[in-house]
Amino acid sequence: MRLCKLMLAFPGDAEDALLAALSAHSPELPGYTILNGDGHGFGFERADIHERVRGRVERLVLMSVLPADHVEALIAVLRHTVPRQDIAWWTEPVLDFGRLA
């Protein structure tokens, strides 16, 4: 099975809706990690005045390793249930994955 890492970068006010959509999706994500982050990139013109002064926007970043063939359906569900311009996603190949014990 080919694995990939799905990354979602989103503002904090989208967290509840995004996690609800992810938990309602079947098959359910095998697991995920959410980290706090700051960024400056695509769509910065939508930053509020505080973010413009700081030069970056606050974001949460969700990471999940899942079968690569599940990504397309999951993104389609998210586009339908949480259609927001300020949620970015991308995938990265996972060469290997496992537990240490």
Cβ distance 14 to 82 under 8 Å? yes
Q: Is residue 63 part of a domain?
A: no
**Which residues form the domain of 79?**
3-57+69-94
- How confident is the model over 69-101, as pLDDT tens digits? 999 999 999 999 999 998 999 999 999 999 999
Q: Specify the pTM.
A: 0.86
Q: Is residue 43 part of a domain?
A: yes
Q: Is residue 101 part of a domain?
A: no
Q: Is residue 53 part of a domain?
A: yes
- How confident is the model over 44-66, as pLDDT tens digits? 666 666 665 566 678 899 999 99
> Helix, strand or coil for residue 55?
coil
Q: Is residue 100 part of a domain?
A: no
Cα 11–79–85 angle (5° rounding)? 40
Model confidence at 29, pLDDT cuts 50, 70, 90, reads confident
Q: Is residue 16 part of a domain?
A: yes
Model confidence at 14, pLDDT cuts 50, 70, 90, reads very high
Q: What is the pLDDT of residue 30?
A: 86
Residue range 23-45: mean pLDDT, rounded: 82
Q: Is residue 85 part of a domain?
A: yes
Q: Is residue 64 part of a domain?
A: no
Q: Taking Cα atoms as reference points, which of 9, 26, 12, 2 lies closest to residue 63?
A: 9
> Structurally, how many domains does the chain consist of?
1
